[in-house]
Structure 1
Amino acid sequence: MFDAKIYIERRKHLATEMGDGLIVLAGNKPVPMNYPSNTLRFRQDSNFLYYCGLDYEDIALTIDCVTGQSTLYGDDLSVSDIVWEGERTSVKKMAEQSGVDSFKSSSDLQKNIGARKDLHILPVYRDDQKFFLQSLLNVSEISSSKSLIACVIKQRSIKSDYELSEISSALEITSQMHSIAMRSTRDGLLEQEIVGLMEGYALQNGSRMAYPVIFTINGEILHSNVYDNVMKSGDLALNDSGAESPLHYASDITRTFPVSGRFTPIQKDIYDLVYEMQQTALEFCKPKTSYKDAHLAAAKKAVMGLTELGLMSGDPEEAVSKGAHALFFPHGLGHMLGLDVHDMEGLGEDLVGYDDKNQRSDQFGLAYLRFSKDLEPGFVLTVEPGIYFISHLIDQWKADNKLSEHINYAEVEKFKGFGGIRIEDNIAISDKGYSVLGPHIPKTTEEIEDIMQS
């Protein structure tokens, strides 16, 4: 945990911003995997962690926005529980560690909130939270507080130095995971063997994954969690993986590399283009610049490069405005990063990534941009352009003769089976621009080939 003063200040700030009412934050409960007593590994709610840091099951927190007083609700384990689970920190000690003003039994929560009409609750994304709140409030539908959502997003969007340190500590482990993957990948191995090495390294170092590992020779599948392919020379392996810090701050890094240890000429051409897309996007990563502009600049760079390779044609700006680039770059440039790998997405992606000035597009590809707002000092984001050759998408667009004035389908057909390439880093926005967080992870084709040959 951070020092109690940090959580006290966060709660004080939130109560002041809200002004009135009672905030109810429900911690997560154990979730059965396949029968009640066989539960999934526990992960605390990120908003609960942000405001009190307590990583325990079956506790709840209230914050009185008028008095600023906070109360922790929970029960100490019974002897029967201790026999199976061992001791855990007492509720009294939890309150002290987090600087919470008072603590009470779980049974007191319903009594204390009673029939209050001024409750503030965040959106519910898990059934255990939903059922708990329905029972607690004696309602069938849970209404979330728009004002609370807005205040939490505003507060959590700006990362402190303490938070940046946590993300950097996660990246220390993640950098080693990626190095292990590059050094260990070779012809004839199953993808799952590399995944096991990475996850094992994280576990050995007191960490776990911030999200399920994406490691695949089918890089055109954006979020593949299937690891049963045999890797062969000539394949590209895409590794999108990141560890959590001890306090559950996420990292999120992607590298793509050749199974053989050497890029073929065409693999190098496409890889270098994705690298240039990222470098172009990074030039836009500074305060008061829209992240959508960074995305579109990367898309324009993609069109220019693909035109040189004979896959596209015409004016790059016109091609981007029509969305022609999305056949090859069908996702957004990146997203916020913090206690969640897609930070605060449970509060509403549009609320986190968009505002009155920056509205979400309905154009294919651009519609998947998770973050579009003007950048501010303290924001932490991923920057992850990519180029993919997705056979089903190519077939669909070709059948419709879609944007054929910009896409050379005869040449594109030759790239079916190529896979996909994505490069991703995590950055923090400062007054002067941006900084790449964490240790350097081999990224250029030369660096990747060097580490794979070492």
Structure 2
Amino acid sequence: MFPKEVYINRRERLRASMKDGIAIVLGNPDAPMNYADNIYHFRQDSTFLYFFGIDHPGFAGVFDLDNNEDYVFGTDFDIDDVIWMGPQPSVKELSQKVGVSNTAQFGELKNLVSKAVQEGRKVHFLPVYRAENKILIHELLGTPLGQIKEKASAEFIRAVVALREIKDEYDIKELERAAEIGYQIHVTAMKMAKAGVYEREIAGECEAIALRAGGALSFPAIVSRRGETLHNHYHGNKLDTGDLLLVDSGAETDTHYASDNTRTVPVGGKFSKKQREVYEVVLAAINKGNELIRPGVTYQSIHLEVCKVIASGLKELGLMKGNVDDAVKAGAHALFMPHGLGHMMGLDVHDMEDFGEDFVGYDDKVQRIDQFGTAYLRLGKELKPGFVLTNEPGIYFIPALIDKWQNEGLHKDFINYEKLKEYRDFGGIRLEDDILVTENGNRLIGKRIPITVDEIEAIMS
């Protein structure tokens, strides 16, 4: 938890950026795994954490925009809770730590909302991703469950995004902590990538490192010798010498800030000639992205420039042909990189994605490009100092996609389908860094995880 002045300032700025009414921020409840008392590890809602900082289940915050007041609602523990969980702080005690003096038991939330509705005041709420909170919004406002997404307040969403997308000194310090843990995760995974080891052993160690650091993984680890499957969570394969192992993993600190990095390494410690050639193209692509990231430039334009690096490198290997600019404009490169270059990162590994990608990654100036591959770019808008984002290009050889495009005769002027036959069992390579946009350019979040061929082979030896 940060000093209470941090939360007070954030809430004051939020209220100043909205017009009128009340605005509800729901914390998360506990979630049962298979029966009520056997619960998943609790994870608080990130926006509630950002403004109210209380990392306990069953809370809600309310901004009274008309009267410049904030409220916290929660449920105090009774003796039965204390018996099972030990002494617990009260709602009032927790609220005082974040500078809120107006507190009440959770059941009083309905009374406050009902009164606002009766008075004809606007009631703003954010998109809801938890079923329990959808039911709560329905009970508070009578909004049909199927309409909750569309009834969420665009004014509220935009106000929150405008604050959360610019990371302050406290955010950045926590992101640096997460990066330190992420570094340990990836270096350990590199050292474990040996013949006979199962993917699950490495995935388990990734999670163990995060847990030992007091937090958790920021998302389920992707540890796969099938790197051409972008988000492969199957961990049952045994590694063989000559495989490429893709590890996409990140840590979440005890304050819930994330890291998110990807490295791809050769099982056994040495890249083959073919692997090294493709790897160097991806390395050139990520370095180009890091070079271009700065304020005032759209991430959409950086994505397209990085795609040109990939297309150019693949052309040199004989896998693509023709004019590189034309190939990227036509979308031919997306056979090899069918995803966007990166996304926002912060309290969420895909920061604020619960609001919807278009609210976070796009705006009135920059619209999503409706083309296979580039359409999946989560962040396209102009970069500002304080943004934290990922830069994660890749090259993948996906047999089903290759067959589909070839059978449909797509991009024959740009793709050498005959040469591609030599790469059908190659797999995939992705590299990913976390970047802070600064006033004059950018810098890495944390120490760069080994990434050059020589660095990786040295670590693995």
Same fold (TM over 0.5): yes
Alignment partner, residue 163 of structure 2: 155
Conserved in 1, the CA contact under 8 Å of 2:92 and 2:101?
no
Report the identity percentage: 44
SS at match of 1:283: helix
Conserved in 2, the CA contact under 8 Å of 1:215 and 1:227?
yes
Which residue of 413, 423, 428 maps to 1:405? 413
Q: CA deviation at 1:137?
A: 2.4
CA distance in 1, matches of 2:19, 2:455: 53
The farther-off stretch of 323-332 and 98-107 is: 98-107
SS at match of 1:48: helix
SS at match of 1:450: helix
Alignment partner, residue 3 of structure 1: 3
Say what the alpha-carbon RMSD is for the aligned residues: 1.0
Residue deviations 1:60-96, cap 9 Å, x none? 1111112221111111111112222333221111111
Q: CA deviation at 1:283?
A: 2.2
Alignment partner, residue 137 of structure 1: 141
Which residue of 175, 178, 181 maps to 1:173? 181
Which residue of 292, 295, 302 maps to 2:303? 295
CA distance in 1, matches of 2:213, 2:113: 42
Listed as ranges, the matches of 1:178-197 within 5 Å are 178-197=186-205
Count of residues in correspondence between the two structures: 453
Paired residue type of 2:85:
E
Can you give the 5+ residue segments of structure 2 that lack an aligned partner in the other structure? none
Residue deviations 1:172-224, cap 9 Å, x none? 01100111111122001100011111211111121200000000000000001
Q: CA deviation at 1:101?
A: 2.3
Tell whether 2:76 aligns with 1:76: yes
Conserved in 2, the CA contact under 8 Å of 1:282 and 1:294?
no
Alignment partner, residue 222 of structure 1: 230
CA distance in 2, matches of 1:408, 1:154: 45
The farther-off stretch of 208-217 and 18-27 is: 18-27
CA distance in 1, matches of 2:77, 2:393: 48
SS at match of 2:292: coil
Paired residue type of 2:244:
L
Tell whether 2:18 aligns with 1:18: yes
CA distance in 2, matches of 1:441, 1:303: 25
Q: CA deviation at 1:282?
A: 1.8
Alignment partner, residue 201 of structure 1: 209
Conserved in 2, the CA contact under 8 Å of 1:284 and 1:293?
no
Conserved in 1, the CA contact under 8 Å of 2:127 and 2:354?
yes
CA distance in 2, matches of 1:131, 1:257: 46
Listed as ranges, the matches of 1:78-117 within 5 Å are 78-115=78-115, 116=117, 117=121
SS at match of 1:428: strand
CA distance in 2, matches of 1:225, 1:89: 38
Q: CA deviation at 1:138?
A: 3.4
Detail structure 1 runs of 4+ shifted over 3 Å in the superposition: none
Paired residue type of 1:338:
G
CA distance in 2, matches of 1:139, 1:408: 54
Residue deviations 1:273-325, cap 9 Å, x none? 00001111222201111101111111101111111101010000000000000
Tell whether 2:443 aligns with 1:439: no
Paired residue type of 2:111:
K
Q: CA deviation at 1:231?
A: 0.4
CA distance in 2, matches of 1:139, 1:289: 40
Residue deviations 1:126-155, cap 9 Å, x none? 101101121122332432111001101111
Listed as ranges, the matches of 1:213-362 within 5 Å are 213-362=221-370
Q: CA deviation at 1:15?
A: 0.5
Alignment partner, residue 60 of structure 1: 60
Listed as ranges, the matches of 1:417-436 within 5 Å are 417-436=425-444
Alignment partner, residue 126 of structure 1: 130
CA distance in 2, matches of 1:357, 1:113: 36
Conserved in 2, the CA contact under 8 Å of 1:5 and 1:99?
yes
Listed as ranges, the matches of 1:27-42 within 5 Å are 27-42=27-42
CA distance in 2, matches of 1:314, 1:235: 31
CA distance in 1, matches of 2:341, 2:38: 39
Can you give the 5+ residue segments of structure 1 that lack an aligned partner in the other structure? none
CA distance in 1, matches of 2:357, 2:448: 30
Conserved in 1, the CA contact under 8 Å of 2:114 and 2:140?
no
Residue deviations 1:313-356, cap 9 Å, x none? 00000000000000001100000000111101111101111112
Alignment partner, residue 450 of structure 1: 458
CA distance in 1, matches of 2:85, 2:334: 51
The farther-off stretch of 199-208 and 391-400 is: 199-208
CA distance in 2, matches of 1:114, 1:357: 38
Paired residue type of 1:207:
G
